[in-house]
Amino acid sequence: MRPWNRRRTVPAVSAALLLTGTAVAVLLLTSPARPELDEDLLRAVAPVVHTDLPTNRKVVWPSQPGGRWFCAQRPVEIRRDGDDVRLGLIANCSMYVRRDAALVLSGGFSGGLVAVLTPGPDGYRVRDVEVPVDGAGNAESLKRMFSTAGYEEVRRSTGRTGLDPTPQARAAFGLPANAPVASR
């Protein structure tokens, strides 16, 4: 067995540690910061957006007879734009119809969107909802809608939101929490 050669080992270990430290620093410096969420402002606007989304024609389409839309959402970022407030969020909106003791899922939307709110004498109201284009232009439209950090959060969360409006629908239709859900 060869004896340990300190003159060769110490520089090699030092170089490896330097490279590892540099790589970690580059990752930390180039990763976007977490999106901003002003909790006080969020408390003021989130209920307004939650009420608006299930009826907003930019997000949902007309229900079939007996159907209702329900949305679950998670805020990503909130920014002021002059007097307006831009709430970027991930939403999962689905239309349900009650059939006997079950729900039938009839369609839906899931993804990033931005609700633009304007203040008024009675509080905030949704003035507009920005929805990204489908298909090839989706990523570019999301980049225009969100800050860099917000876009990265939406991109990471796509398909993994964990947002489910089904419990709201069951409660609204007077069904038990374990009522089955079928797809149309």
**DSSP of 11-26, one letter per residue?**
HHHHHHHHHHHHHHHH
Q: Taking Cα atoms as reference points, which of 157, 160, 161 lies closest to residue 146?
A: 157
Q: Where are the domains of the chain?
A: 39-183
Q: What is the pLDDT of residue 124?
A: 96
Q: What is the pLDDT of residue 31?
A: 54
Residue with tokens 């079928």: 182
Question: 3-state class of 80 per DSSP?
Answer: strand
Q: Which of 131-135, 158-162, 172-176 shows the lowest mean pLDDT across its residues?
A: 158-162
- Per-residue pLDDT averaged across 16-34, rounded? 51
pLDDT over threshold 50, residue 24: no
pLDDT over threshold 70, residue 149: yes
Instruction: Report yes or no: 86 and 79 within 8 Å, Cβ to Cβ.
Output: yes
pTM: 0.78
Q: What is the pLDDT of residue 113?
A: 96
Of 86 and 12, the structure prediction assigns the larger pLDDT to 86
Q: What is the pLDDT of residue 36?
A: 78
**Distance between CA atoms of 118 and 56, rounded to whole angstroms?**
16
Question: What is the average pLDDT score of the chain?
Answer: 86
pLDDT over threshold 60, residue 19: no
CA-CA distances (angstroms) from residue 164 to 26, 47, 78, 119, 161?
A: 37, 17, 22, 29, 9
Cα 57 to chain centroid, rounded: 19
Q: Taking Cα atoms as reference points, which of 77, 13, 89 lies closest to residue 41?
A: 77
Tens digits of per-residue pLDDT, 38-85?
999 999 999 999 999 999 999 998 888 889 999 999 999 999 999 999
Reading the block at residue 155, the tokens are 């991109």
pLDDT over threshold 90, residue 130: yes
Instruction: Report yes or no: 96 and 143 within 8 Å, Cβ to Cβ.
Output: no
**Distance between CA atoms of 151 and 132, rounded to whole angstroms?**
12
154 Cβ contact partners less than 8 Å away, ≥ 6 residues apart: 76, 88, 90, 111, 112, 142, 146
